[in-house]
């Protein structure tokens, strides 16, 4: 956990459960008894098999889903309160940029949605931070996939949120671009240092970026284990070739492959 210079908020998912009603009248339990705490300024990665409820947990934090059981709070408040105050920054695998707007106009969009004066200095600062100076007037169709995701991250940060939620932001990118974006995200996060939850299928991405990696079981999703990442920051790509990194990666991959032992 990063206490020095930490910003952001304390996050708590307290014994959360989530059910979904199916069209055939059946109920699917997506998440059950999930408890997760994230400290102010901490970067946590959430991994687990497909369909285990990782994105459901993130969506509950983003106030896009309501828990069926348990509670979700950010600094003691419901996520809806933070969403209304535009204190949550969210970026998904689908960058969701508006194709008719330029880079700077897409980054400025949260100011307009929240009916705040557009802070041109903040927009320039973030475009520079994500390495897109010179592309301010470009449309999304003129950018690569990695560049579009940088715009999405800049947009998520523009209102200085307390919490950054990232749902497979690089899942659609090729391996080389994804590795480059991991380096970029680390650099951006080190400058912003806010409470962050990353949902990913990639164990090595989780270990490279996070302070702590949380493993979920198959559906219904439960927290199986957590691992503190022992590597200092900033992390160079070489850390991924170390024996310690490979051992942790093997341990977490094995945890993903183990069937859940139900109570």
Question: What pLDDT is recorded for position 109?
Answer: 93
List the 27-38 sheet strands across, edge first: 27-38, 11-21, 69-74
pTM over 0.85: yes
Can you tell me the mean pLDDT for 232-249?
A: 93
Question: What pLDDT is recorded for position 5?
Answer: 47
pLDDT single digits (tens) 22-43: 888 788 888 999 999 999 999 9
Can you tell me the mean pLDDT for 147-155?
A: 90
| 24 within a domain of the structure (yes/no) | yes
> CB within 8 A of 139, min separation 6: which ones?
99, 100, 101, 102, 103
Confidence category of residue 1, pLDDT binned at 50, 70, 90:
very low
Q: Is the peptide bond before 135 cis (omega within 30 degrees of 0)?
A: no
CB 215 within 8 A of CB 223: yes
pLDDT single digits (tens) 158-171: 888 889 999 988 88
Closest CA to 215 of 52, 13, 65, 66: 52
Can you tell me the mean pLDDT for 129-153?
A: 91
| 99 within a domain of the structure (yes/no) | no
For residue 262, pLDDT beyond 70 = no
CB 41 within 8 A of CB 193: yes
pLDDT single digits (tens) 54-93: 899 999 999 999 999 999 999 889 999 988 888 888 888 7
Helix, strand, coil percentages for the chain (3-state, nearest 5): 35, 25, 40
| 68 within a domain of the structure (yes/no) | yes
| 180 within a domain of the structure (yes/no) | no
| 100 within a domain of the structure (yes/no) | no
| 132 within a domain of the structure (yes/no) | no
Question: Chain-centre distance of CA 25, in angstroms?
Answer: 32
Q: How far apart are CA 48 and CA 56, in angstroms?
A: 12
> What's the number of domains the chain is made of?
1
| 33 within a domain of the structure (yes/no) | yes
Confidence category of residue 6, pLDDT binned at 50, 70, 90:
low
For residue 143, pLDDT beyond 60 = yes
| 257 within a domain of the structure (yes/no) | yes
Q: Provide the domain limits for residue 39.
A: 1-87+163-170+194-263
**What is the CATH number for 214?**
3.40.50.300
Confidence category of residue 177, pLDDT binned at 50, 70, 90:
confident
Q: How far apart are CA 261 and CA 9, in angstroms?
A: 33
- Residue showing tokens 């699917």: 28
Can you tell me the mean pLDDT for 219-225?
A: 89
């Amino acid at each position: 956990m990063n206490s020095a210079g930490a910003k952001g908020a304390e996050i708590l998912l307290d014994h959360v459960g989530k059910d979904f009603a199916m069209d055939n009248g059946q109920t699917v339990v997506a998440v059950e008894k999930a408890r997760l705490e994230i400290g102010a300024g901490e970067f946590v990665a959430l991994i687990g098999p497909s369909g285990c409820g990782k994105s459901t947990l993130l969506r509950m934090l983003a106030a896009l889903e309501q828990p069926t059981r348990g509670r979700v709070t950010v600094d003691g408040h419901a996520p809806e309160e933070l969403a209304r105050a535009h204190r949550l920054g969210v970026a998904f695998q689908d960058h969701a940029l508006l194709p008719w707007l330029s880079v700077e106009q897409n980054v400025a969009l949260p100011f307009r949605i929240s009916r705040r004066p557009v802070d041109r200095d903040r927009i320039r600062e973030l475009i520079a931070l994500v390495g897109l100076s010179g592309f301010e007037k470009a449309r999304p169709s003129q950018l690569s996939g990695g560049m579009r995701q940088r715009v999405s991250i800049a947009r998520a940060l523009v209102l200085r949120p307390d919490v950054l939620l990232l749902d497979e932001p690089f899942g659609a990118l090729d391996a080389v671009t994804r590795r480059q974006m991991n380096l970029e995200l680390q650099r951006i996060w080190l400058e912003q240092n806010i409470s962050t939850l990353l949902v990913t299928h990639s164990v090595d991405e989780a270990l490279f970026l996070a302070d702590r990696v949380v493993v979920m079981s198959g559906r219904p999703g439960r927290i199986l284990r957590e691992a503190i990442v022992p590597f200092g920051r900033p992390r160079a790509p070489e850390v991924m070739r170390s024996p310690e990194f490979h051992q942790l990666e093997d341990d977490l991959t094995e945890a993903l492959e183990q069937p859940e032992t139900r109570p």
